[in-house]
Chain A
Amino acid sequence: AQSVTQPDIHITVSEGASLELRCNYSYGATPYLFWYVQSPGQGLQLLLKYFSGDTLVQGIKGFEAEFKRSQSSFNLRKPSVHWSDAAEYFCAVGVYGGATNKLIFGTGTLLAVQP
């Protein structure tokens, strides 16, 4: 069955520090992978996606993610975190085929940023 695991429920980093949020997926076919961010009281905003091609993808707000098929991972990174990055981050795998077209989400990682 398809699934997404985000091992870190809560992460705290200092402003200006680097960030890596982990995501592992389980999916039998070619994975289509997404990172979304949810700020308090807001909806889910797409940060970046991987469909094919270059395994290092760039997104908005200075985020990037690297797809590693051998590790079934799609970790999100940012070299220098800003206080405004405090939010909850969700990794998702797109499940497609026939009539199926949906996202399977991980449980999310809540990021806190210390001044």
Chain B
Amino acid sequence: NAGVMQNPRHLVRRRGQEARLRCSPMKGHSHVYWYRQLPEEGLKFMVYLQKENIIDESGMPKERFSAEFPKEGPSILRIQQVVRGDSAAYFCASSPLGIDRGYGYTFGSGTRLTVV
């Protein structure tokens, strides 16, 4: 069981470029969550997706950020026109059922985004 796979592990982008972060959930998990963690801070919720559906994007900035979880392939978190303030660790987590069913999250290793 490969666990939650995130890639790349590290990503460096210049200001104004686009960043694409990928997440493949654990086998059998259909719920995907993205969190952002700034240095020395906690985890901030961004978006919750199921296959082909965005369930809750209340934590996503209104501009430049988007997420998808297509029928085939990994979930993608896309950040357009990155700025220095986007530098953070982005974690993806998955669960087999909704979190309200009592399952803990399984987190991926994260993508550390650095904007230069």
A binds B: no
